[in-house]
Amino acid sequence: MAEALLVNLVVLVLGMLALWRVAVRIDDVSFIDAVWGGGMGVLALVSWLHVPGGPGVRAHLIAAMAAIWAARLAWHLYTRWRANGEDPRYARILGKARARGQYGSAALKVVFAPQAVLLFLTCLPAQLGVLASTAPAPLGPLAVAGAAVWLVGILFEAVGDEQLKRFLADPASKGKVLDTGLWRFTRHPNYFGDACVWWGIWLAAADAGLWVALASLVGPVFLTFTLTRWSGKPLLERGMAERRPGYAEYVRRTSGFVPWWPKSG
């Protein structure tokens, strides 16, 4: 299994280096968001290809959950980048380096290298879960529960993203707040769905044994922390009240992460 993880790491590093060169050539790293999702799907599938003794049904399930989620998210973020161009976040982060002619080295140190490390760690549930699921091990209750949580998550994420996409594409929405559909019950249905997907994959991986559960717990814990406390929700909501006048009231009545009925009054 250690050799399999090493292969995954080599694939990830080589892929990131190749994409870094692309980013330097086009002077834009913003597509890294699509790579984040897609890269996890790649690691899950590479793991599936070299399961010791051949993959069992649990390996098929976990690899499929990771790949389906990754393909949807990567395509969504890639098409968004193609439509909108450089993400202002990365323009700010790398602005000084670009002005000094050091864009390439800064992109590697600040964006691609850290993303590679965090991607590998976050994807541990899929990697270890697949590698520990050799044939003919059957599906246990944790795997079934994990698939159910995953399904809830991917529905929240996909529907939330589609509702937001349509809202932003409507000229009449300028300056307004999306507070209908799933966005009525949580300010971030897509982030909530993302967390559910990886807690679901972790549960399915935990079906392979306690050591897998403990060794891969860092994945969903870190992802949830990122979405709720670091670069997800806090970064997105910063300054939102200034840009959208009704946002403060929306925050007052709407759950910040876990879906719940909005407050009245």
**C-alpha span between 200 and 192 (Å, rounded):** 12
pLDDT digits (tens, 9 = 90+) for 221-261: 999 999 998 887 887 888 787 788 889 899 999 999 999 99
Which contacts of 136-141 are long-range, i.e. CB under 8 A and separated by 24 or more positions?
136/56, 136/57, 137/56, 137/57, 137/58, 137/208, 138/56, 138/57, 138/58, 139/57, 139/58, 139/61, 139/207, 140/58, 140/207, 141/207
pLDDT digits (tens, 9 = 90+) for 51-72: 988 999 999 999 999 999 999 9
**Average pLDDT, stretch 31-44?**
96
- Ordered alpha helix ranges (H), the chain: 2-26, 32-49, 57-84, 88-93, 95-99, 103-106, 113-122, 124-131, 141-169, 189-206, 210-216, 218-229, 233-237, 240-243, 247-253
Q: Residue 2's pLDDT band (boundaries 50, 70, 90)?
A: confident
At 136, is the secondary structure helix, strand, or coil? Answer: coil
pLDDT for the residue numbered 238? 81
**Average pLDDT, stretch 37-57?**
94
Q: Residue 213's pLDDT band (boundaries 50, 70, 90)?
A: very high
Closest CA to 69 of 112, 94, 34, 99: 34
What percentage of the chain carries pLDDT values higher than 70? 100
